[in-house]
Amino acid sequence: MKFFVDTADIAAIKELNDLGMVDGVTTNPSLILKSGRAIAEVTAEICAMVEGPVSAEVVAEKADDMIAEGRHLAKIAPNVCIKVPLTWDGLKACRVLSDEGHKLNVTLCFSAAQAILAAKAGATFISPFIGRLDDIHMDGMDLIADIREIYDNYGYETQILAASIRTVNHIVDAAKIGADVITAPPSVIKSMANHVLTDKGLAQFNADWAQTGQKIL
């Protein structure tokens, strides 16, 4: 399973990338706002750091305008992945831009029916939002499982990019189901290393080592 990091924070991306934990990056208008930087500038810097796809999102609502924005964003770097919303206009834009050879991430997916349309429209990635479904008392992982089953049934090449990841369990469950990619905030990815028994065991080892009076270096 590939790890994308969901942020426009350059320092956070660099820390994870230096460890080999970054296969790509996803951004959105909210993350660009949080960065306090121009979208072209921060996207170019991320693309220069990360070898994998970097999603940059259009903000237009009509297909023709999305297409124009997508073409503009694609000029920033060769590894830009154009991000469009899962609306009818977004699907139209996806079809045109995909046919031109661009990578497309179709975002804000909340149903298997939407995911089928995205695959038919040539999406490189489909981004089902797990956490936001959980917020309205639905099980977001059920959607990941439904899309995986449908895509496998028909051999769709669109990759499932599990998004709106809130917890380590979301990542593990997505991996068990067979999501191709997860995208998560840096803090959630880093928290995968945490376990209370690891901390407890390390504390015991350190206490015992201190009693030996030894040093390794």
Other C-beta atoms within 10 Å of 182: how many? 27
Cβ atoms 136, 154 nearer than 8 A:
no
Q: Is residue 217 assigned to a domain?
A: no
> Would residue 55 count as lying in a domain?
yes
Phi, psi angles (nearest 5°) of residue 81 = -110, 120
From the candidates 34, 83, 120, 176, give the one annotated as an active-site residue.
83
Residue-wise pLDDT for 187-216, tens only, equals 999 999 999 999 999 999 999 999 999 999
User: How many whole angstroms separate alpha carbon 59 and alpha carbon 62?
Assistant: 9
Phi, psi (rounded to 5 degrees) for 183 = -125, 130
CA-derived radius of gyration, the chain: 20
pLDDT digits (tens, 9 = 90+) for 74-115: 999 999 999 999 999 999 999 999 999 999 999 999 999 999
With contact defined as beta carbons under 8 Å apart, do 104 and 122 qualify?
Answer: yes
Give yes or no: 83 in active site: yes
Give the domain extent around 190: 2-212
C-alpha dihedral over 33, 35, 39, 44, to 10 degrees? Answer: -160
Task: Write the single-letter amino acid at 105.
Answer: N
The string of pLDDT tens digits covering residues 108-145 is: 999 999 999 999 999 999 999 999 999 999 999 999 99
Q: Is 68 within the bounds of a domain?
A: yes
In the chain, what's the furthest Cα-to-Cα distance? 72
Q: What is the CATH number of the domain that holds 132?
A: 3.20.20.70
pTM above 0.85, yes or no: yes
Q: Where are the alpha helices (DSSP H) in the chain?
A: 10-18, 29-35, 39-49, 63-74, 88-99, 112-120, 130-135, 140-154, 168-177, 186-191, 196-212
Number of domains in the chain: 1
Alpha carbons 31 and 15: distance in angstroms, whole number: 18
Distance from the Cα of residue 74 to its chain's centroid: 18
Asked if residue 117 belongs to a domain, the reply is: yes
